[in-house]
Amino acid sequence: MIAGLKAEALPNVTVVEKAVSDMVGEAVLHVDIRPDLGAAASSLMELSGMEAQTQAVTVPTTTVDAFSEALGAYPDLVKIDVERFEPNVIGGAHRVIERRRPIIIFELWESHWGRYQPMTDYLRRFYHMVRLSDGADAQKYYSANTGEGVDDILCIPLSPHYARS
């Protein structure tokens, strides 16, 4: 993908070869080396059952906050699909979230909703969270249901006057 983007030389696309995390520094990226899948399940978190199908590579990391502040530009939309590392990305975006309230879409492995609880409790202060598959309120849905699939969660900013404390 990176080679393709660089070859296209699109005027509004800049390839930044860093992983997004909750800290600036370095981390081990577990690169999915299965043939014909384009590294689909690569993650900064070693995925259970994937150990023999990944290669560990040390990569530089940044945060949404640090990257935005260094660039002097802030996102209106943040799309996160990082194979169970979503809480870490949100952890590195608190200043952007609290000051700018970008729309956020994150992938959710539904069986991990409970593991995401600290992240979703934080996001609820600033966003209404909706399942993209059916428009259901994510908090209410996952409080009453256990899913086994994958869904995307849309985080719609609350008015600053109505932010929850």
Enclosing domain of residue 34: 2-162
- pLDDT given at position 161: 55
How does pLDDT run across 39-82, given as a tens digit for each residue? 555 666 666 666 666 778 898 999 999 999 999 999 999 999 88
Total structural domains within the chain: 1
DSSP state of 149: S
- Domain holding 108: CATH number? 3.40.50
- Report in angstroms the alpha-carbon separations of 149 from 8, 121, 155, 158: 35, 21, 19, 27
Instruction: Write out the E strands in the chain.
Output: 19-20, 25-32, 54-62, 77-80, 103-109, 127-131, 150-157
- pLDDT given at position 38: 54
